[in-house]
Structure 1
């Protein structure tokens, strides 16, 4: 959960993820500006006709503090908005009065000698909220710039489909028909199954993997026009959605979203795709017996870059060792100590690196991985880049590649906006431009009647993605032959003492929210609200996780200065440490080098430092002025297991008693069966060790504080069989959520619910995947009449969105990211 904010050098967008309504930004009209300085940038060479361009505010420009950069739809810089126009627009953008500015280069240009031109005309469409419209119009008029309003006769000069739709000059149905046709084209594009080349891959692929490989190959080798592009009668090419016109044929969209369910063997399928880059089929026959392809210098590099979390490294290495001929594919680990030489990397078939490594090297001079034009880039566990403002996301999008693949079993985790960074990485125009994504997909989805938005999203994903679950049927058979998985909820009653503590805490939280009152006040006290929610969730698990003195849980004043209270500083640091799912409100990722402001808000050091360099220098949440002196590095929270020893002799909590009862029943049914208990609270895993050992269970623990080597050892130990082998693994969702194979177990216990259902699905599918020989049982432990039941409601909404986006079912409701209304719901102030 996190509030949203924007960085200071930002892509100019139309109001983030605001819900459509009376206060939404609308189109005022357009002004004529000039794109200047084109002779200094390569972007001019890609423009051969009408071009939609992105405007990016650049307040730290050394030559002009009002600078607004112009980038082509492919991301290359074209130039800058002319200084007089920028001087008018910059204050309106910085002050928030102008919600968005959308640019169009209106005329064909740069043919022959014209490529040396220094400037071009640029239509700048201005979007503002109703309350700011008069101010924006007055500022433009005072500068002597003509604003061509939507009802002006000359407004017809703008031919962008999105502009026409908003102004009703082009009926909404026209745009919907374009999406509908796209959906039909995607459905018709069925590819034949393909075998892996036997001179590289020794494993025989399952039928569903062969079908997936055929789809991957078909998309990579396609010479079709990208979606929404058509050839003109005069030999040019036009985008029917944006009316962009070019003389040269747009390159095909070679890649897409490989979104098969977790546990279906996506990694082996991708290795088979990489293997085909080294082998070609002879005589037009696809299948085994392929000969090695001779890599010629004219073809350039055929190296594939794989980007993934560190926990997934072992999965790629293991699959490579087990399923390919030794030495047939060379892999380089670009992580930790790494080479600076491009030539060395290009000698390998696969270079594997992490998202954080790319983030570190983004805009770093001499970075080989950022400088290479890769044959193929694969983003594994690609939902990691769901935040478009994060540095690692920007780095991934900036990678140069011929073929681009997004690979994730959970492409949507919180809302449909998670898909926007994936579109930006794929270079899928025009959806790689934030304004287009918001207006064509996001806003229709968030409208009260969202059938239009859902239908568009389905068509879009249907054209570029492959999504199958383990339950998908081919004919009368399931996609894969894996024993079934059942998911059950075990409802738990709290004891009288636990209920008293819980009810007191919930009442205090409700009163606090009522005291805060309006939305802005709640956001100013965001950390306090999160602290209440965290403690309520911990009370559902065990009172021992929380201080018994309720007054010590919170600051005396909601606006208390942390600099005068070192104990408060420690408490806030523990808030981040206690909750695995805490996110920095700016980058929406777990804080790296956590910083706490004097106004008690928590950020990444990098994120808040950028804010301080901006002209506003205010806390993004409460808008309180900040300086360097107002930032405090969070004290390190020591992970000493013995710290909980004084709490181990307490009576067992209701939830722990329920878990022990379930484990004993499972052991009685099958003494050699293994179970995994997932919790997001590391302290809870430690507290469980004593009771489980006392009950005679042989246990292991796997959590995020362990090194990768230690985690690997624990997983290996857990897979052992025999009378003395471990039977219960206590695991954090974060440590065992991705790239971990736990098929040795057949029962999963989710000790506490997670905000994001996709993370829970990942945890289950570490056990329920190819290689599992037993029926898998998943048990959710949920406390009755508590915040946990309300969390399940949020999960259901998110699942509905995900299933709706990848199917043709109508009527699914959009699930927005947690906002103030949902915070109130979590505290029981909103009706279910």
Structure 2
């Protein structure tokens, strides 16, 4: 009779057989020879189809211990397939195709044995709901047994990895059998009692408890990475080129230098021992060094990296002089390549060199007009500074940066490569070097998956590829066991250093939120925009063109206009006539740092990750530049509202007046740092403060580099400069603005990490004053919805593993914020 092998995808495979039952003579009890055999772990979620109903199985259960929670069955091959066998040697079920593939990969390993395990309660439920003929048993786990030696364990790991199979903790083991999982990442020297992990699975936790446990475990791991984990401490003899010894002022920075030097020390690295157990034989066994410095913002990651470069100038020169690249097209250089998000950050690195070092580092810029035209400038230098967008352009053109073999590559604000589908990631990951470092205060921005992109760039053993890191480090978290975070904890403790700002002993900071209500006129305009958006969505849904981009543009435009009403109210601002409300550079939003500083190589980006602006040339502008003199929002919305004779006489909105009130009440001598996302709001703030006689400075994405430097220096040093207004993107990374003691966040940002980075410009090393952080939210508007979405994303960032579809994910966010449903 034909037998169907069930698969996890729902399809079935036929097995022709003229025999319904068969006796096999080579079925071996997996528990035989317990003295020299251990369990390597279990394959989960197996399914098996009964060959001749549940009758044979029921007969065996009647003769067994009815109080047992689990039933064990040997697994062996019969008729070319892996089957479960009864005690009398009869094959009674056939395993599903995925399980077949995994077991077939191990079948030729000497002395390997398999055993199926499933719970008696599961069986009773299946009996009640299935016909007697050929039912399918589900939720089976298959324990893998083999010799207790490293050769066999490594072979099992390697073979399973090739078929994307992962060994989890056994649900149940017979008494007396030892358990050791060769795929479980353990730091050399650590001792794990694997026997305590038996039975730890996601089946024992509900979804809510599992999420809470994962969130707690990730928080605990990140908070535990505050010490250097090396076999010995490398002595530091500071160069005469360093103006101040780190040990006297900032000991945590010296600790970071020690960590980086030890992670690059070949004699201390674990590359050798870890590669002995490496899971993929297809990877060349070339030692890799580096790691992740994940200190929170304001801890001096830049200076620690520069001091590390200073300490390794000699070995870098030896590398360039005596290294013979395996690829003829790669030219070795002693230089460290540092990649930063913007030109502004290039200047920040140069400033740190000038501030802390005598002229010891030869620095070369690779950016726009300052790109060298040949190899020599990149060979005869110690440090090369470039941006992610310049690097992406070089990657597309197979340019100089990708034809060098660098002594070291450092990614500053490394979360820029969190999306592995972008040119940023591809350009960074294809650079040639054996020393790779990621610097970021937010290693998890949107998803736990962000870590796997960083791991893919770092290429550190034993899980150097994104898929293996996700499989063997991240996915065990979802099992829910008390020790299933151990692989992630061990990996990060080995390769990551993270310190919180509490080690700086900073003065306390205070956070507060001021809620305001829209005026009557503002509320009418706000409601009209929402109604117009719903009409437009109805037209799209009822029409033939339901493309994601079209929906996105409607939702984006409506959300943008509603948020601008929250900021500016109803009237045409007096500064609009100067052109500040007109989108600059076509489709690029000049108020967003990522958009405004796009220099090259980003044509593949469809939506800005920060401001969510669509980049496609044919997308409609968010501001139409309507000549309507009564409404800067344009497109005739104001015409639908009867405001004649009742227009506001005040030039400023409810929110802007609230911000002015807070600044003026703070009194003289207080310096304020004010962040907004949009050019119109920035200029509105400038206008309202200058109108009140307050000395105000403005920096946004279009401010020249030299002018930014001058304005920031003025704010830091001039006691009369009391207010610095900045776009969030411009001020979110790399700056030191500790003169400010009051930070104002005008509107909520889509990404909570960007807000945190902006606030960290003031709450950082060197801050001597108590800092007040004030956020402004308009009640009953999309701003409250965005704050709720922020909170949700901060939680889910530690719980989700998938990369997601950027377009659809943004669409869902907009629909949630606006409270609309679109099928």
**Is the shorter-chain TM-score for this pair beyond 0.5, marking a shared fold?**
yes
1:396 aligns with 2:402: no
Which of residues 414, 430, 447 in structure 2 aligns to 1:415?
Answer: 447
Find the residue that maps to 2:368 and give its secondary structure: coil
The residue correspondences of 1:61-210 to structure 2 (distance < 5 A) are 160-162=159-161, 166=165, 178-179=184-185, 184=190, 189=230, 192=233, 195=236, 197-205=238-246, 206-210=250-254
The residue correspondences of 1:206-605 to structure 2 (distance < 5 A) are 206-223=250-267, 230=274, 237-239=276-278, 242=279, 244=281, 250-278=285-313, 297-298=321-322, 301-309=333-341, 310-326=343-359, 328-337=360-369, 338-365=371-398, 367-428=399-460, 431-440=463-472, 456-471=487-502, 479-506=503-530, 509=533, 521=546, 523=548, 525-544=551-570, 577=589, 580=592, 604=615
1:43-83 superposed Cα distances (whole Å, 9 cap, x missing partner): xxxxxxxxxxxxxxxxxxxxxxxxxxxxxxxxxxxxxxxxx
Residue 783 of structure 2 corresponds to: 788
State whether residues 525 and 570 of structure 2, in contact with CA within 8 Å, keep that contact through their aligned partners in structure 1: no
The residue correspondences of 1:810-825 to structure 2 (distance < 5 A) are 818=809, 820-825=811-816
For the residues of structure 2 that align with 1:27 and 1:257, how far apart are their CA atoms?
A: 43
State whether residues 223 and 252 of structure 1, in contact with CA within 8 Å, keep that contact through their aligned partners in structure 2: no
1:448-478 superposed Cα distances (whole Å, 9 cap, x missing partner): 969888664444333311111102xxxxxxx
Residue 664 of structure 1 corresponds to: 664
1:827 aligns with 2:818: yes
For the residues of structure 1 that align with 2:571 and 2:473, how far apart are their CA atoms?
A: 43
1:701 aligns with 2:727: no
Q: CA RMSD in A?
A: 4.9
Unaligned runs of 5+ in 2: 1-6, 14-97, 107-140, 145-154, 172-178, 192-224, 324-331, 574-581, 634-647
For the residues of structure 2 that align with 1:541 and 1:451, how far apart are their CA atoms?
A: 47
The structure-2 alpha-carbon separation of the partners of 1:245 and 1:814, relative to structure 1 and needing over 3 Å to count, comes to closer
State whether residues 606 and 614 of structure 2, in contact with CA within 8 Å, keep that contact through their aligned partners in structure 1: yes
Deviates more, 1:305-314 or 1:331-340: 331-340
- Residue 378 of structure 1 and its aligned partner are, at CA, apart by 0.9
Find the residue that maps to 2:774 and give its secondary structure: strand
Find the residue that maps to 2:434 and give its secondary structure: strand
Residue 761 of structure 2 corresponds to: 766
The structure-2 alpha-carbon separation of the partners of 1:821 and 1:229, relative to structure 1 and needing over 3 Å to count, comes to farther
1:354-403 superposed Cα distances (whole Å, 9 cap, x missing partner): 212211111535x3322111111111111222222222321211111121
The structure-2 alpha-carbon separation of the partners of 1:604 and 1:821, relative to structure 1 and needing over 3 Å to count, comes to closer
Unaligned runs of 5+ in 1: 1-22, 30-98, 108-149, 232-236, 281-291, 472-478, 548-569, 606-630, 805-811
Aligned length: 595
Residue 726 of structure 1 corresponds to: 721
Residue 175 of structure 2 corresponds to: none
- Residue 28 of structure 1 and its aligned partner are, at CA, apart by 9.7
- Residue 536 of structure 1 and its aligned partner are, at CA, apart by 2.5
- Residue 230 of structure 1 and its aligned partner are, at CA, apart by 4.8
1:17-46 superposed Cα distances (whole Å, 9 cap, x missing partner): xxxxxx9979999xxxxxxxxxxxxxxxxx
For the residues of structure 2 that align with 1:174 and 1:759, how far apart are their CA atoms?
A: 43
The structure-2 alpha-carbon separation of the partners of 1:698 and 1:456, relative to structure 1 and needing over 3 Å to count, comes to same
Find the residue that maps to 1:577 and give its secondary structure: coil
1:248-295 superposed Cα distances (whole Å, 9 cap, x missing partner): 9x3443101111111111111111101111369xxxxxxxxxxx9988
1:532-591 superposed Cα distances (whole Å, 9 cap, x missing partner): 2222222221234899xxxxxxxxxxxxxxxxxxxxxx999988638739989xx9x997
The structure-2 alpha-carbon separation of the partners of 1:422 and 1:666, relative to structure 1 and needing over 3 Å to count, comes to same
State whether residues 187 and 494 of structure 2, in contact with CA within 8 Å, keep that contact through their aligned partners in structure 1: no
Relative to the length of structure 1, the TM-score reads 0.61
For the residues of structure 2 that align with 1:496 and 1:635, how far apart are their CA atoms?
A: 28
Find the residue that maps to 1:270 and give its secondary structure: helix
The structure-2 alpha-carbon separation of the partners of 1:591 and 1:183, relative to structure 1 and needing over 3 Å to count, comes to farther
For the residues of structure 2 that align with 1:522 and 1:453, how far apart are their CA atoms?
A: 42
| Larger Rg computed on CA atoms | 2
The structure-2 alpha-carbon separation of the partners of 1:504 and 1:771, relative to structure 1 and needing over 3 Å to count, comes to same
- Residue 666 of structure 1 and its aligned partner are, at CA, apart by 0.9
Deviates more, 1:677-686 or 1:418-427: 418-427
1:59-112 superposed Cα distances (whole Å, 9 cap, x missing partner): xxxxxxxxxxxxxxxxxxxxxxxxxxxxxxxxxxxxxxxx9xx99xx99xxxxx
State whether residues 193 and 211 of structure 1, in contact with CA within 8 Å, keep that contact through their aligned partners in structure 2: no
- Residue 515 of structure 1 and its aligned partner are, at CA, apart by 7.7
For the residues of structure 2 that align with 1:196 and 1:634, how far apart are their CA atoms?
A: 59
- Residue 753 of structure 1 and its aligned partner are, at CA, apart by 0.8
For the residues of structure 2 that align with 1:546 and 1:455, how far apart are their CA atoms?
A: 58
1:414-439 superposed Cα distances (whole Å, 9 cap, x missing partner): 21222333222212357553443454
- Residue 679 of structure 1 and its aligned partner are, at CA, apart by 0.2
State whether residues 591 and 603 of structure 1, in contact with CA within 8 Å, keep that contact through their aligned partners in structure 2: no
1:801-832 superposed Cα distances (whole Å, 9 cap, x missing partner): 66x6xxxxxxx6779874554333212359xx
For the residues of structure 1 that align with 2:625 and 2:449, how far apart are their CA atoms?
A: 36
State whether residues 594 and 602 of structure 1, in contact with CA within 8 Å, keep that contact through their aligned partners in structure 2: no
The structure-2 alpha-carbon separation of the partners of 1:201 and 1:224, relative to structure 1 and needing over 3 Å to count, comes to closer
